[in-house]
Structure 1
Amino acid sequence: MADPQDRRLLLVHAHPDDETINNGATMARYVSEGAHVTLITCTLGEEGEVLVPELAHLAADQTDQLGEHRITELADAMAELGVTDHRFLGGPGKYRDTGMIYNDEGNADTPPDTRKDSFWQADLTAAANDLVPIIRELRPQVLVTYDEYGNYGHPDHIKAHRVAMYAAALAAAPSYREDLGAAWDIPKIYWTAIIESSMRASLRELRAAGDTTTFEGMDPEGPMPPMITPDRFIDAIVDGSAYMDRKMNAMKAHATQITVDGPFFALSNNNGSSIFGDEGYRLVKGTAAPGPKGVEDDLFAGVA
Protein backbone atom coordinates (compact mmCIF):
# COMPACT_ATOMS: atom_id res chain seq x y z
CA MET A 1 0.00 0.00 0.00
CA ALA A 2 1.35 3.40 -0.99
CA ASP A 3 2.41 5.66 1.85
CA PRO A 4 -0.29 8.36 2.36
CA GLN A 5 2.36 11.03 1.90
CA ASP A 6 3.42 9.51 -1.43
CA ARG A 7 -0.03 9.19 -2.99
CA ARG A 8 -0.48 11.18 -6.18
CA LEU A 9 -3.90 11.79 -7.72
CA LEU A 10 -4.38 13.46 -11.11
CA LEU A 11 -7.79 14.68 -12.30
CA VAL A 12 -8.56 15.90 -15.83
CA HIS A 13 -11.68 18.03 -16.25
CA ALA A 14 -13.17 20.13 -19.02
CA HIS A 15 -14.23 23.39 -17.34
CA PRO A 16 -13.91 25.13 -13.97
CA ASP A 17 -16.64 23.74 -11.65
CA ASP A 18 -16.69 20.22 -13.18
CA GLU A 19 -14.06 19.10 -10.69
CA THR A 20 -16.03 20.23 -7.64
CA ILE A 21 -19.37 18.82 -8.80
CA ASN A 22 -17.89 15.42 -9.66
CA ASN A 23 -14.97 14.97 -7.27
CA GLY A 24 -14.90 17.79 -4.73
CA ALA A 25 -15.23 15.56 -1.68
CA THR A 26 -12.68 13.10 -3.06
CA MET A 27 -10.17 15.86 -3.63
CA ALA A 28 -10.70 17.30 -0.15
CA ARG A 29 -10.34 13.87 1.43
CA TYR A 30 -7.04 13.04 -0.21
CA VAL A 31 -5.59 16.48 0.43
CA SER A 32 -6.47 16.09 4.12
CA GLU A 33 -4.76 12.69 4.14
CA GLY A 34 -1.55 14.18 2.79
CA ALA A 35 -1.78 13.04 -0.83
CA HIS A 36 -0.63 15.25 -3.69
CA VAL A 37 -3.72 16.20 -5.71
CA THR A 38 -3.34 17.80 -9.13
CA LEU A 39 -6.20 19.20 -11.19
CA ILE A 40 -5.88 19.80 -14.92
CA THR A 41 -8.65 21.95 -16.41
CA CYS A 42 -8.82 21.92 -20.20
CA THR A 43 -10.67 25.19 -20.89
CA LEU A 44 -11.64 28.38 -19.07
CA GLY A 45 -15.34 27.71 -19.56
CA GLU A 46 -15.83 30.85 -21.65
CA GLU A 47 -19.18 29.71 -23.06
CA GLY A 48 -20.82 29.06 -19.70
CA GLU A 49 -24.12 30.62 -18.72
CA VAL A 50 -23.72 33.48 -16.24
CA LEU A 51 -26.10 33.04 -13.30
CA VAL A 52 -25.10 36.26 -11.50
CA PRO A 53 -27.08 39.19 -13.03
CA GLU A 54 -24.49 41.83 -12.20
CA LEU A 55 -21.87 39.76 -14.05
CA ALA A 56 -23.98 39.07 -17.14
CA HIS A 57 -21.76 41.41 -19.15
CA LEU A 58 -18.94 38.85 -18.94
CA ALA A 59 -20.79 36.39 -21.19
CA ALA A 60 -19.32 35.20 -24.48
CA ASP A 61 -21.85 37.19 -26.51
CA GLN A 62 -21.01 40.40 -24.64
CA THR A 63 -17.50 41.32 -23.35
CA ASP A 64 -16.35 37.69 -23.51
CA GLN A 65 -14.46 37.97 -20.22
CA LEU A 66 -16.10 35.08 -18.41
CA GLY A 67 -13.06 32.84 -18.82
CA GLU A 68 -10.81 35.26 -16.95
CA HIS A 69 -13.39 35.51 -14.18
CA ARG A 70 -13.68 31.75 -13.89
CA ILE A 71 -9.94 31.47 -13.30
CA THR A 72 -10.54 33.32 -10.03
CA GLU A 73 -13.58 31.20 -9.19
CA LEU A 74 -11.55 28.04 -9.72
CA ALA A 75 -8.73 29.32 -7.52
CA ASP A 76 -11.23 30.13 -4.77
CA ALA A 77 -12.84 26.70 -5.07
CA MET A 78 -9.49 24.95 -4.88
CA ALA A 79 -8.60 26.97 -1.79
CA GLU A 80 -11.78 25.62 -0.17
CA LEU A 81 -10.78 22.04 -1.05
CA GLY A 82 -7.12 22.55 -0.15
CA VAL A 83 -5.82 21.79 -3.63
CA THR A 84 -2.70 23.84 -4.34
CA ASP A 85 -1.67 22.26 -7.66
CA HIS A 86 -4.22 23.24 -10.29
CA ARG A 87 -3.22 23.94 -13.89
CA PHE A 88 -4.80 24.64 -17.27
CA LEU A 89 -3.99 22.29 -20.13
CA GLY A 90 -1.32 24.00 -22.22
CA GLY A 91 -1.75 27.18 -20.15
CA PRO A 92 -4.81 29.37 -19.45
CA GLY A 93 -6.92 29.94 -22.53
CA LYS A 94 -5.03 27.73 -24.98
CA TYR A 95 -8.16 25.70 -25.61
CA ARG A 96 -11.49 27.52 -25.95
CA ASP A 97 -14.69 26.24 -24.38
CA THR A 98 -16.66 24.66 -27.24
CA GLY A 99 -20.11 25.31 -25.84
CA MET A 100 -22.98 22.86 -26.24
CA ILE A 101 -26.54 22.42 -27.45
CA TYR A 102 -29.31 20.05 -26.42
CA ASN A 103 -30.30 17.49 -29.04
CA ASP A 104 -33.75 16.07 -29.75
CA GLU A 105 -33.28 13.47 -27.02
CA GLY A 106 -32.65 16.20 -24.47
CA ASN A 107 -28.97 15.33 -24.06
CA ALA A 108 -25.97 17.62 -24.40
CA ASP A 109 -24.43 17.63 -27.87
CA THR A 110 -21.88 19.43 -30.05
CA PRO A 111 -22.99 22.73 -31.64
CA PRO A 112 -23.31 22.63 -35.43
CA ASP A 113 -20.67 25.38 -35.72
CA THR A 114 -17.60 25.38 -33.50
CA ARG A 115 -14.70 27.79 -33.39
CA LYS A 116 -11.35 26.71 -34.79
CA ASP A 117 -9.72 27.44 -31.42
CA SER A 118 -12.30 25.34 -29.55
CA PHE A 119 -11.18 22.36 -27.52
CA TRP A 120 -13.39 20.14 -29.65
CA GLN A 121 -11.41 21.04 -32.77
CA ALA A 122 -7.99 20.66 -31.14
CA ASP A 123 -5.69 18.04 -32.59
CA LEU A 124 -5.84 15.03 -30.28
CA THR A 125 -2.12 14.26 -30.31
CA ALA A 126 -1.17 17.91 -29.79
CA ALA A 127 -3.53 18.21 -26.82
CA ALA A 128 -2.32 14.91 -25.39
CA ASN A 129 1.25 16.16 -25.68
CA ASP A 130 0.31 18.98 -23.29
CA LEU A 131 -0.69 16.35 -20.73
CA VAL A 132 2.03 13.73 -21.25
CA PRO A 133 4.82 15.77 -19.59
CA ILE A 134 2.56 16.43 -16.59
CA ILE A 135 1.91 12.72 -16.18
CA ARG A 136 5.61 11.97 -16.45
CA GLU A 137 6.48 14.78 -14.03
CA LEU A 138 3.95 13.84 -11.35
CA ARG A 139 3.94 10.04 -11.82
CA PRO A 140 0.41 9.67 -10.42
CA GLN A 141 -0.84 6.32 -9.19
CA VAL A 142 -4.42 7.32 -9.98
CA LEU A 143 -6.00 9.23 -12.88
CA VAL A 144 -9.63 10.39 -12.81
CA THR A 145 -11.52 11.65 -15.86
CA TYR A 146 -14.85 11.17 -17.67
CA ASP A 147 -16.21 8.20 -19.59
CA GLU A 148 -16.32 8.07 -23.38
CA TYR A 149 -19.63 10.01 -23.40
CA GLY A 150 -18.19 12.73 -21.19
CA ASN A 151 -20.77 11.59 -18.63
CA TYR A 152 -23.51 13.64 -20.30
CA GLY A 153 -22.51 14.40 -23.86
CA HIS A 154 -20.81 17.80 -23.62
CA PRO A 155 -18.17 17.89 -26.41
CA ASP A 156 -15.48 19.25 -24.10
CA HIS A 157 -16.09 16.44 -21.62
CA ILE A 158 -15.81 13.90 -24.43
CA LYS A 159 -12.60 15.56 -25.63
CA ALA A 160 -11.17 15.65 -22.10
CA HIS A 161 -11.81 11.90 -21.86
CA ARG A 162 -10.04 11.28 -25.16
CA VAL A 163 -7.09 13.50 -24.29
CA ALA A 164 -6.65 11.98 -20.83
CA MET A 165 -6.87 8.39 -22.02
CA TYR A 166 -4.58 8.94 -25.02
CA ALA A 167 -2.05 10.88 -22.96
CA ALA A 168 -2.00 8.10 -20.36
CA ALA A 169 -1.19 5.57 -23.10
CA LEU A 170 1.48 7.75 -24.68
CA ALA A 171 3.08 8.61 -21.34
CA ALA A 172 3.54 4.90 -20.64
CA ALA A 173 5.49 4.24 -23.84
CA PRO A 174 9.28 4.51 -23.23
CA SER A 175 9.90 5.15 -26.92
CA TYR A 176 7.40 8.01 -27.18
CA ARG A 177 8.79 11.54 -27.02
CA GLU A 178 11.76 11.10 -24.69
CA ASP A 179 11.93 14.90 -24.59
CA LEU A 180 8.69 14.91 -22.57
CA GLY A 181 10.21 12.99 -19.66
CA ALA A 182 10.74 9.41 -18.54
CA ALA A 183 7.85 7.03 -19.22
CA TRP A 184 5.21 6.50 -16.53
CA ASP A 185 2.43 3.93 -16.65
CA ILE A 186 -0.48 5.05 -14.43
CA PRO A 187 -1.52 2.01 -12.33
CA LYS A 188 -5.20 2.89 -11.92
CA ILE A 189 -7.58 4.91 -14.08
CA TYR A 190 -11.16 5.76 -13.09
CA TRP A 191 -14.10 7.35 -14.83
CA THR A 192 -16.43 9.49 -12.73
CA ALA A 193 -19.97 8.19 -12.25
CA ILE A 194 -23.28 9.26 -10.75
CA ILE A 195 -24.53 6.26 -8.80
CA GLU A 196 -28.02 5.21 -9.89
CA SER A 197 -29.25 4.18 -6.44
CA SER A 198 -28.02 7.48 -4.98
CA MET A 199 -29.76 9.50 -7.67
CA ARG A 200 -33.01 7.60 -7.20
CA ALA A 201 -32.86 8.07 -3.42
CA SER A 202 -32.31 11.82 -3.81
CA LEU A 203 -35.11 12.10 -6.35
CA ARG A 204 -37.50 10.30 -4.00
CA GLU A 205 -36.66 12.76 -1.23
CA LEU A 206 -37.15 15.73 -3.53
CA ARG A 207 -40.48 14.48 -4.88
CA ALA A 208 -41.68 13.61 -1.38
CA ALA A 209 -40.88 17.19 -0.37
CA GLY A 210 -43.07 18.47 -3.20
CA ASP A 211 -40.27 19.49 -5.56
CA THR A 212 -41.21 18.51 -9.11
CA THR A 213 -38.92 20.94 -10.97
CA THR A 214 -35.42 19.86 -9.89
CA PHE A 215 -34.26 17.27 -12.45
CA GLU A 216 -37.58 17.85 -14.18
CA GLY A 217 -38.79 14.84 -16.13
CA MET A 218 -36.73 12.36 -14.13
CA ASP A 219 -38.88 9.78 -12.37
CA PRO A 220 -37.25 8.11 -9.35
CA GLU A 221 -38.94 4.86 -10.36
CA GLY A 222 -38.47 5.28 -14.12
CA PRO A 223 -35.64 5.02 -16.66
CA MET A 224 -32.51 7.07 -16.02
CA PRO A 225 -30.63 9.20 -18.60
CA PRO A 226 -27.18 8.19 -19.91
CA MET A 227 -25.33 10.27 -17.29
CA ILE A 228 -26.55 7.94 -14.53
CA THR A 229 -24.47 4.79 -13.97
CA PRO A 230 -26.09 1.51 -12.87
CA ASP A 231 -24.79 0.30 -9.53
CA ARG A 232 -23.40 -2.89 -11.06
CA PHE A 233 -20.82 -0.78 -12.93
CA ILE A 234 -19.66 1.12 -9.85
CA ASP A 235 -16.24 -0.10 -8.69
CA ALA A 236 -15.41 2.52 -6.06
CA ILE A 237 -17.36 4.85 -3.80
CA VAL A 238 -15.50 7.53 -1.89
CA ASP A 239 -17.40 8.51 1.23
CA GLY A 240 -17.09 12.26 1.27
CA SER A 241 -19.62 12.97 4.01
CA ALA A 242 -16.91 14.41 6.25
CA TYR A 243 -16.01 16.89 3.50
CA MET A 244 -19.48 18.05 2.46
CA ASP A 245 -18.98 21.53 3.91
CA ARG A 246 -15.81 22.00 1.90
CA LYS A 247 -17.48 20.72 -1.24
CA MET A 248 -20.49 22.99 -0.83
CA ASN A 249 -18.23 25.99 -0.17
CA ALA A 250 -16.23 25.15 -3.29
CA MET A 251 -19.43 24.96 -5.29
CA LYS A 252 -20.44 28.38 -3.98
CA ALA A 253 -17.10 29.71 -5.22
CA HIS A 254 -18.23 28.87 -8.76
CA ALA A 255 -20.92 31.51 -8.39
CA THR A 256 -21.43 32.28 -12.07
CA GLN A 257 -22.22 28.64 -12.78
CA ILE A 258 -23.88 27.15 -9.71
CA THR A 259 -26.77 28.37 -7.60
CA VAL A 260 -26.79 26.62 -4.26
CA ASP A 261 -30.02 27.99 -2.79
CA GLY A 262 -32.42 25.59 -4.50
CA PRO A 263 -34.18 22.58 -2.94
CA PHE A 264 -31.64 20.08 -4.23
CA PHE A 265 -28.78 21.83 -2.50
CA ALA A 266 -30.83 22.26 0.62
CA LEU A 267 -31.32 18.50 0.52
CA SER A 268 -27.58 18.04 0.19
CA ASN A 269 -26.81 20.39 3.08
CA ASN A 270 -29.46 19.18 5.48
CA ASN A 271 -29.37 15.47 4.88
CA GLY A 272 -25.89 14.85 3.51
CA SER A 273 -27.44 13.66 0.24
CA SER A 274 -25.59 10.63 -1.02
CA ILE A 275 -25.49 12.05 -4.54
CA PHE A 276 -22.96 14.61 -3.33
CA GLY A 277 -21.54 12.89 -0.27
CA ASP A 278 -20.77 9.61 -2.03
CA GLU A 279 -18.69 10.01 -5.17
CA GLY A 280 -18.77 7.05 -7.53
CA TYR A 281 -16.17 5.72 -9.93
CA ARG A 282 -15.72 3.08 -12.61
CA LEU A 283 -12.31 1.39 -12.64
CA VAL A 284 -11.15 1.05 -16.26
CA LYS A 285 -7.50 0.25 -15.72
CA GLY A 286 -5.87 -1.55 -12.83
CA THR A 287 -6.88 -4.26 -10.40
CA ALA A 288 -9.82 -3.63 -8.08
CA ALA A 289 -9.31 -4.10 -4.36
CA PRO A 290 -12.87 -4.12 -2.97
CA GLY A 291 -13.56 -3.29 0.66
CA PRO A 292 -16.09 -4.87 3.04
CA LYS A 293 -19.08 -3.51 1.08
CA GLY A 294 -17.98 -5.10 -2.18
CA VAL A 295 -16.61 -1.94 -3.78
CA GLU A 296 -13.43 0.02 -3.22
CA ASP A 297 -13.61 2.79 -0.66
CA ASP A 298 -10.14 4.12 -1.54
CA LEU A 299 -8.98 4.95 -5.07
CA PHE A 300 -5.44 3.98 -4.07
CA ALA A 301 -6.52 0.52 -2.84
CA GLY A 302 -4.05 -2.11 -3.94
CA VAL A 303 -1.45 0.40 -5.16
CA ALA A 304 2.01 -0.65 -3.99
Structure 2
Amino acid sequence: MDRFLKKRMPIEFYLGVVILAMVLFFSATTDQFFTLRNILDLTEGYAVSGIFALGLFVVLVTGGIDISFAAVASVVQYAVASLLLGGYIDGALQSIVLALIFGVFCGLFNAVLIYYLNLVSIIITISVQSLLFGILMWLTNGRSIYDLPVWWTTQHEIFPFSIGDETYQIGLPFLLMLALTFITWLILNKTNLGRQLYAVGGNQESARRVGIRVGLIHLFAYGYLGAAAAIGGLVQVYRMGEVVPNALVGGELDVLAATVLGGASLTGGKGTVIGTLMGVFLIGILKNGLNLIGISSYFMNIVIGIVIVIAISITHYKKRKETNVGFA
Protein backbone atom coordinates (compact mmCIF):
# COMPACT_ATOMS: atom_id res chain seq x y z
CA MET A 1 0.00 0.00 0.00
CA ASP A 2 2.79 2.43 0.93
CA ARG A 3 4.59 1.56 -2.28
CA PHE A 4 1.45 2.36 -4.27
CA LEU A 5 1.00 5.71 -2.52
CA LYS A 6 4.63 6.66 -3.11
CA LYS A 7 4.49 5.75 -6.77
CA ARG A 8 4.36 8.87 -8.92
CA MET A 9 1.62 8.87 -11.51
CA PRO A 10 2.39 10.40 -14.91
CA ILE A 11 1.14 13.91 -15.60
CA GLU A 12 -1.22 12.53 -18.26
CA PHE A 13 -3.12 10.66 -15.53
CA TYR A 14 -3.85 13.84 -13.57
CA LEU A 15 -4.71 15.74 -16.76
CA GLY A 16 -7.14 12.98 -17.68
CA VAL A 17 -8.80 13.19 -14.26
CA VAL A 18 -9.15 16.98 -14.53
CA ILE A 19 -10.50 16.79 -18.09
CA LEU A 20 -13.02 14.12 -17.08
CA ALA A 21 -14.14 16.21 -14.10
CA MET A 22 -14.61 19.28 -16.30
CA VAL A 23 -16.55 17.30 -18.91
CA LEU A 24 -18.90 15.94 -16.23
CA PHE A 25 -19.34 19.38 -14.67
CA PHE A 26 -20.10 21.23 -17.90
CA SER A 27 -22.32 18.40 -19.13
CA ALA A 28 -24.37 18.72 -15.96
CA THR A 29 -24.60 22.52 -16.12
CA THR A 30 -25.49 22.95 -19.80
CA ASP A 31 -27.00 20.61 -22.37
CA GLN A 32 -25.08 22.35 -25.16
CA PHE A 33 -21.66 21.12 -24.05
CA PHE A 34 -21.67 17.34 -24.45
CA THR A 35 -22.96 17.23 -28.01
CA LEU A 36 -21.19 15.78 -31.03
CA ARG A 37 -21.38 19.13 -32.84
CA ASN A 38 -19.75 21.00 -29.97
CA ILE A 39 -17.04 18.35 -29.53
CA LEU A 40 -16.12 18.44 -33.22
CA ASP A 41 -16.14 22.24 -33.21
CA LEU A 42 -13.89 22.17 -30.15
CA THR A 43 -11.35 19.84 -31.76
CA GLU A 44 -11.19 21.95 -34.90
CA GLY A 45 -11.23 25.27 -33.07
CA TYR A 46 -8.16 24.37 -31.02
CA ALA A 47 -6.24 22.59 -33.77
CA VAL A 48 -4.17 25.70 -34.53
CA SER A 49 -3.31 26.10 -30.83
CA GLY A 50 -2.33 22.43 -30.81
CA ILE A 51 -0.01 22.92 -33.79
CA PHE A 52 1.63 25.91 -32.09
CA ALA A 53 1.93 24.02 -28.81
CA LEU A 54 3.68 21.05 -30.45
CA GLY A 55 6.31 23.36 -31.92
CA LEU A 56 6.71 25.29 -28.68
CA PHE A 57 7.04 22.03 -26.75
CA VAL A 58 10.12 21.05 -28.78
CA VAL A 59 11.75 24.37 -27.86
CA LEU A 60 10.81 23.99 -24.19
CA VAL A 61 12.33 20.50 -24.15
CA THR A 62 15.72 22.06 -24.97
CA GLY A 63 15.40 24.56 -22.13
CA GLY A 64 14.49 27.51 -24.36
CA ILE A 65 11.34 29.51 -24.92
CA ASP A 66 9.92 31.33 -27.93
CA ILE A 67 6.96 33.72 -27.78
CA SER A 68 7.20 34.96 -31.38
CA PHE A 69 5.38 32.07 -33.10
CA ALA A 70 2.03 33.88 -33.43
CA ALA A 71 3.68 36.88 -35.08
CA VAL A 72 5.60 34.56 -37.40
CA ALA A 73 2.35 32.81 -38.36
CA SER A 74 0.65 36.16 -39.01
CA VAL A 75 3.46 37.43 -41.24
CA VAL A 76 3.66 34.12 -43.11
CA GLN A 77 -0.04 33.99 -43.96
CA TYR A 78 -0.15 37.63 -45.05
CA ALA A 79 3.02 37.34 -47.14
CA VAL A 80 1.83 34.17 -48.87
CA ALA A 81 -1.60 35.67 -49.57
CA SER A 82 -0.06 38.86 -50.97
CA LEU A 83 2.31 36.95 -53.25
CA LEU A 84 -0.54 34.76 -54.47
CA LEU A 85 -2.74 37.73 -55.31
CA GLY A 86 0.19 39.50 -56.94
CA GLY A 87 0.83 36.54 -59.23
CA TYR A 88 4.36 35.91 -57.91
CA ILE A 89 3.56 32.36 -56.82
CA ASP A 90 0.86 29.96 -57.89
CA GLY A 91 -0.83 26.97 -56.31
CA ALA A 92 -0.87 25.23 -52.97
CA LEU A 93 2.53 23.53 -53.22
CA GLN A 94 4.49 26.71 -53.83
CA SER A 95 2.57 28.50 -51.09
CA ILE A 96 3.21 25.79 -48.50
CA VAL A 97 6.90 25.49 -49.38
CA LEU A 98 7.41 29.26 -49.21
CA ALA A 99 5.56 29.45 -45.91
CA LEU A 100 7.70 26.70 -44.40
CA ILE A 101 10.92 28.33 -45.63
CA PHE A 102 9.98 31.66 -44.10
CA GLY A 103 8.84 30.07 -40.83
CA VAL A 104 12.03 28.02 -40.47
CA PHE A 105 14.13 31.10 -41.28
CA CYS A 106 12.45 33.05 -38.47
CA GLY A 107 13.07 30.19 -36.07
CA LEU A 108 16.73 29.92 -37.07
CA PHE A 109 17.10 33.68 -36.68
CA ASN A 110 15.88 33.41 -33.08
CA ALA A 111 18.18 30.46 -32.40
CA VAL A 112 21.25 32.30 -33.67
CA LEU A 113 20.52 35.32 -31.50
CA ILE A 114 19.79 33.20 -28.43
CA TYR A 115 22.53 30.58 -28.61
CA TYR A 116 25.42 32.09 -30.52
CA LEU A 117 25.07 35.57 -29.00
CA ASN A 118 24.09 34.13 -25.61
CA LEU A 119 21.01 36.31 -25.24
CA VAL A 120 17.99 35.62 -23.01
CA SER A 121 15.46 33.65 -25.07
CA ILE A 122 12.26 35.15 -23.72
CA ILE A 123 13.52 38.72 -24.13
CA ILE A 124 14.71 38.13 -27.69
CA THR A 125 11.58 36.34 -28.84
CA ILE A 126 9.28 38.95 -27.33
CA SER A 127 11.34 41.58 -29.16
CA VAL A 128 11.13 39.63 -32.43
CA GLN A 129 7.39 39.24 -31.94
CA SER A 130 6.98 42.99 -31.46
CA LEU A 131 9.22 43.69 -34.46
CA LEU A 132 7.44 41.33 -36.86
CA PHE A 133 3.95 42.29 -35.75
CA GLY A 134 4.78 45.99 -35.82
CA ILE A 135 6.16 45.79 -39.36
CA LEU A 136 3.13 43.78 -40.49
CA MET A 137 0.60 46.24 -39.09
CA TRP A 138 2.59 49.24 -40.37
CA LEU A 139 2.87 47.93 -43.93
CA THR A 140 -0.72 46.68 -44.14
CA ASN A 141 -2.49 49.31 -42.00
CA GLY A 142 -4.30 46.36 -40.45
CA ARG A 143 -6.20 45.56 -43.66
CA SER A 144 -7.54 42.04 -44.03
CA ILE A 145 -7.33 39.98 -47.23
CA TYR A 146 -10.55 38.31 -48.38
CA ASP A 147 -10.11 37.45 -52.07
CA LEU A 148 -8.17 34.23 -51.59
CA PRO A 149 -7.74 31.22 -53.92
CA VAL A 150 -10.45 28.58 -53.75
CA TRP A 151 -8.01 25.81 -52.83
CA TRP A 152 -7.10 27.68 -49.65
CA THR A 153 -10.57 28.49 -48.35
CA THR A 154 -12.83 25.69 -49.62
CA GLN A 155 -13.86 23.46 -46.71
CA HIS A 156 -13.07 19.91 -47.79
CA GLU A 157 -15.30 17.08 -46.64
CA ILE A 158 -13.12 14.58 -44.82
CA PHE A 159 -14.67 11.49 -43.25
CA PRO A 160 -18.24 12.84 -43.51
CA PHE A 161 -20.92 10.90 -41.62
CA SER A 162 -24.53 11.34 -40.58
CA ILE A 163 -26.45 10.67 -37.40
CA GLY A 164 -30.17 11.05 -37.91
CA ASP A 165 -30.79 14.23 -39.87
CA GLU A 166 -27.48 15.81 -38.85
CA THR A 167 -24.35 15.66 -41.03
CA TYR A 168 -20.89 15.82 -39.48
CA GLN A 169 -17.28 15.59 -40.58
CA ILE A 170 -13.79 15.39 -39.12
CA GLY A 171 -12.12 18.73 -39.84
CA LEU A 172 -8.92 19.00 -41.88
CA PRO A 173 -7.25 21.24 -39.23
CA PHE A 174 -7.71 18.53 -36.61
CA LEU A 175 -6.26 15.86 -38.91
CA LEU A 176 -3.26 18.07 -39.69
CA MET A 177 -2.70 18.56 -35.98
CA LEU A 178 -2.80 14.78 -35.47
CA ALA A 179 -0.28 14.32 -38.28
CA LEU A 180 2.10 16.84 -36.70
CA THR A 181 1.52 15.15 -33.34
CA PHE A 182 2.70 11.83 -34.77
CA ILE A 183 5.75 13.43 -36.43
CA THR A 184 6.72 15.23 -33.21
CA TRP A 185 6.21 12.10 -31.11
CA LEU A 186 8.29 10.07 -33.56
CA ILE A 187 11.17 12.56 -33.46
CA LEU A 188 11.23 12.92 -29.69
CA ASN A 189 10.67 9.28 -28.73
CA LYS A 190 12.09 7.13 -31.52
CA THR A 191 15.16 8.97 -32.81
CA ASN A 192 18.60 9.83 -31.53
CA LEU A 193 17.78 13.47 -32.26
CA GLY A 194 14.93 13.30 -29.75
CA ARG A 195 17.20 11.90 -27.06
CA GLN A 196 19.65 14.72 -27.74
CA LEU A 197 16.89 17.32 -27.45
CA TYR A 198 15.97 16.02 -24.00
CA ALA A 199 19.63 15.76 -23.01
CA VAL A 200 20.32 19.39 -23.93
CA GLY A 201 17.30 20.49 -21.91
CA GLY A 202 18.31 18.35 -18.94
CA ASN A 203 21.87 19.67 -18.71
CA GLN A 204 23.35 21.61 -21.58
CA GLU A 205 26.93 21.45 -20.35
CA SER A 206 26.80 17.69 -19.78
CA ALA A 207 25.28 17.24 -23.24
CA ARG A 208 28.14 19.19 -24.76
CA ARG A 209 30.72 17.09 -22.91
CA VAL A 210 29.34 13.83 -24.31
CA GLY A 211 29.66 15.14 -27.85
CA ILE A 212 26.19 16.55 -28.57
CA ARG A 213 26.34 19.57 -30.87
CA VAL A 214 24.22 21.83 -28.71
CA GLY A 215 24.12 24.66 -31.22
CA LEU A 216 22.63 22.46 -33.94
CA ILE A 217 20.06 21.11 -31.48
CA HIS A 218 18.89 24.65 -30.72
CA LEU A 219 18.77 25.46 -34.43
CA PHE A 220 16.57 22.43 -35.04
CA ALA A 221 14.23 23.17 -32.12
CA TYR A 222 13.59 26.80 -33.03
CA GLY A 223 13.41 25.96 -36.73
CA TYR A 224 10.82 23.28 -35.95
CA LEU A 225 8.70 25.81 -34.07
CA GLY A 226 9.03 28.20 -37.01
CA ALA A 227 7.73 25.50 -39.36
CA ALA A 228 4.86 24.72 -36.97
CA ALA A 229 4.01 28.43 -36.82
CA ALA A 230 3.87 28.57 -40.63
CA ILE A 231 1.59 25.53 -40.77
CA GLY A 232 -0.62 26.97 -38.05
CA GLY A 233 -0.88 30.27 -39.93
CA LEU A 234 -1.98 28.57 -43.14
CA VAL A 235 -4.49 26.39 -41.27
CA GLN A 236 -5.95 29.46 -39.56
CA VAL A 237 -6.66 31.05 -42.95
CA TYR A 238 -8.26 27.81 -44.14
CA ARG A 239 -10.57 27.84 -41.11
CA MET A 240 -11.55 31.50 -41.30
CA GLY A 241 -11.53 32.03 -45.08
CA GLU A 242 -9.59 35.30 -44.74
CA VAL A 243 -6.28 36.74 -43.60
CA VAL A 244 -6.65 38.99 -40.57
CA PRO A 245 -3.23 40.36 -39.55
CA ASN A 246 -3.98 40.60 -35.82
CA ALA A 247 -6.09 37.45 -35.43
CA LEU A 248 -3.39 35.25 -33.89
CA VAL A 249 -1.25 37.63 -31.87
CA GLY A 250 -2.36 37.75 -28.25
CA GLY A 251 -2.99 34.05 -27.70
CA GLU A 252 0.63 33.10 -26.97
CA LEU A 253 0.08 32.76 -23.23
CA ASP A 254 -2.77 30.30 -23.82
CA VAL A 255 -0.41 28.08 -25.80
CA LEU A 256 2.39 28.44 -23.24
CA ALA A 257 0.03 27.64 -20.37
CA ALA A 258 -1.34 24.60 -22.19
CA THR A 259 2.17 23.30 -22.88
CA VAL A 260 3.25 23.77 -19.28
CA LEU A 261 0.03 22.15 -18.06
CA GLY A 262 0.95 19.19 -20.25
CA GLY A 263 4.09 18.60 -18.20
CA ALA A 264 6.72 20.61 -20.07
CA SER A 265 9.27 22.21 -17.77
CA LEU A 266 10.31 25.81 -18.25
CA THR A 267 13.87 24.70 -17.54
CA GLY A 268 13.82 21.94 -20.16
CA GLY A 269 14.29 18.21 -20.37
CA LYS A 270 10.75 17.16 -19.43
CA GLY A 271 7.30 16.65 -20.89
CA THR A 272 5.50 14.52 -23.45
CA VAL A 273 3.72 15.12 -26.73
CA ILE A 274 0.48 13.55 -25.46
CA GLY A 275 0.60 15.67 -22.33
CA THR A 276 1.01 18.79 -24.47
CA LEU A 277 -2.13 18.01 -26.48
CA MET A 278 -4.05 17.19 -23.32
CA GLY A 279 -3.02 20.59 -21.94
CA VAL A 280 -4.28 22.31 -25.09
CA PHE A 281 -7.68 20.66 -24.93
CA LEU A 282 -7.94 21.13 -21.17
CA ILE A 283 -7.69 24.88 -21.82
CA GLY A 284 -10.10 24.51 -24.74
CA ILE A 285 -12.70 22.60 -22.71
CA LEU A 286 -12.46 25.11 -19.89
CA LYS A 287 -12.92 28.10 -22.20
CA ASN A 288 -15.72 26.46 -24.14
CA GLY A 289 -17.56 25.32 -21.03
CA LEU A 290 -17.28 28.68 -19.27
CA ASN A 291 -18.58 30.40 -22.37
CA LEU A 292 -21.58 28.07 -22.63
CA ILE A 293 -22.60 28.62 -19.00
CA GLY A 294 -22.33 32.38 -19.38
CA ILE A 295 -19.05 33.11 -17.59
CA SER A 296 -17.12 36.07 -19.03
CA SER A 297 -14.23 35.11 -21.30
CA TYR A 298 -12.10 37.63 -19.42
CA PHE A 299 -12.18 35.30 -16.44
CA MET A 300 -10.10 32.87 -18.49
CA ASN A 301 -7.24 35.36 -18.51
CA ILE A 302 -7.14 35.06 -14.73
CA VAL A 303 -6.96 31.27 -15.01
CA ILE A 304 -4.16 31.44 -17.59
CA GLY A 305 -2.20 33.87 -15.43
CA ILE A 306 -2.58 31.67 -12.36
CA VAL A 307 -1.43 28.59 -14.30
CA ILE A 308 1.74 30.32 -15.52
CA VAL A 309 2.56 31.79 -12.09
CA ILE A 310 2.12 28.38 -10.42
CA ALA A 311 4.18 26.65 -13.12
CA ILE A 312 7.05 29.14 -12.79
CA SER A 313 6.95 28.92 -9.01
CA ILE A 314 7.02 25.11 -9.01
CA THR A 315 9.82 25.03 -11.58
CA HIS A 316 11.91 27.50 -9.58
CA TYR A 317 11.25 25.62 -6.34
CA LYS A 318 12.25 22.26 -7.82
CA LYS A 319 15.40 23.71 -9.37
CA ARG A 320 16.44 25.32 -6.08
CA LYS A 321 15.71 22.09 -4.20
CA GLU A 322 17.82 20.05 -6.64
CA THR A 323 20.65 22.56 -6.34
CA ASN A 324 20.54 22.40 -2.53
CA VAL A 325 20.59 18.58 -2.66
CA GLY A 326 23.58 18.69 -4.96
CA PHE A 327 25.57 20.77 -2.47
CA ALA A 328 24.40 18.82 0.59
- TM-score of the superposed pair, with normalisation by structure 1: 0.30
Between Structure 1 and Structure 2, which shows a larger proportion of strand residues?
1
Higher Rg: 2
- TM-score of the superposed pair, with normalisation by structure 2: 0.28
